């Protein structure tokens, strides 16, 4: 069955610390991959996405993610977090193949708390 797994459920960091959130997917074919963020009281919004090409993708607010096909991973990184990065982060995937209906499968989410 297709699935997306996020290893860290709750992460607490101090400002300026580096961040890496893990995401692994299980899909039969090629996939499109996404990271979404939900700031407190706000809409879910896209941080970055990977469809093809350069496996290192850059998103908004200094975030980046690396697609490693051999590890079925798409980890999110930021070199130096800020208090304003406190939010819930979701990894998601959709099949790119002929059966693609645009349906996303989401991971369980990771709550990031950044202490000032």
Chain residues in the site for another protein (CB under 8 A): 6, 9, 32, 34, 36, 42-46, 49, 51, 90, 92, 100-109
Burial class (CB in 10 A: 0-12, 13-18, 19+), 116: exposed
Min. distance of Cβ 41 from another protein in angstroms?
Answer: 9
Compute the distance between CA of residue 20 and CA of residue 24 in angstroms, rounded to an integer: 13
Nearer to another protein, 2 or 77 (CB): 2
Min. distance of Cβ 62 from another protein in angstroms?
Answer: 19
Nearer to another protein, 81 or 90 (CB): 90
């Amino acid at each position: 069955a297709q699935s997306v797994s996020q290893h860290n459920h709750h992460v607490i960091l101090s400002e300026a610390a580096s961040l890496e959130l893990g995401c692994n997917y299980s899909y039969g074919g090629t996939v499109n991959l996404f990271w979404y963020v939900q700031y407190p009281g706000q809409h879910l919004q896209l941080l970055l996405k990977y469809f093809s090409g350069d496996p290192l993708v850059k998103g908004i607010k200094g975030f980046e993610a690396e697609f490693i096909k051999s590890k079925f991973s798409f980890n999110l990184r930021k070199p130096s977090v800020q208090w304003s990065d406190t939010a819930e982060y979701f990894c998601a995937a959709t099949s790119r193949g002929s059966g693609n209906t645009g349906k996303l499968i989401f991971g369980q989410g990771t709550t990031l708390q950044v202490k000032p």
